[in-house]
Amino acid sequence: MVKFLGDGTFGRVLRVQLKNNFYACKVVKSVDRYIDSARMEAQILDQVLRRDEKNESHCVLQIDYFSFHKHHKKHYAIVLEELGKSLYEVIKSNGYRGNSYITF
């Protein structure tokens, strides 16, 4: 881990370095329904990216996903390309206004 990026309802996001590249690693809390949802998210991203080899859909790139145990608790992680602020942070910085007011 290089840096803590943020917490959310389902877990936290860490900035990680693999070789010379930086990524966002979404670590899901040890709650069965959160882990099940994360597995589905990883599978959906996997299918989208396999069907769209040139990434013309502009979907976030998923690098890897895996389960692990820490302190006798089961967790799930998804490693993604690092894109910037979370959607929540963007909405918050725009005074919680709707999408038409969001600026990146």
Q: Which of 77, 62, 104 is nearest to 13 (CA)?
A: 77
Question: Are 7 and 66 a contacting pair, CB within 8 Å?
Answer: no
Residue 99's pLDDT band (boundaries 50, 70, 90)?
low
In whole angstroms, how far apart are CA 31 and each of 19, 20, 66, 74, 86?
31, 32, 15, 8, 22
CATH code, domain carrying 49:
3.30.200.20
Amino acid identity at 50: R
pLDDT at 25 over 90: yes
Show the domain range for 63.
3-101
pLDDT at 100 over 70: no
**For residue 34, what pLDDT is reported?**
95
Residue 57's pLDDT band (boundaries 50, 70, 90)?
low
Give the residue-averaged pLDDT of 3-32: 92
SS3 56: coil
Number of separate domains in the chain: 1
The string of pLDDT tens digits covering residues 64-79 is: 999 998 888 999 999 9
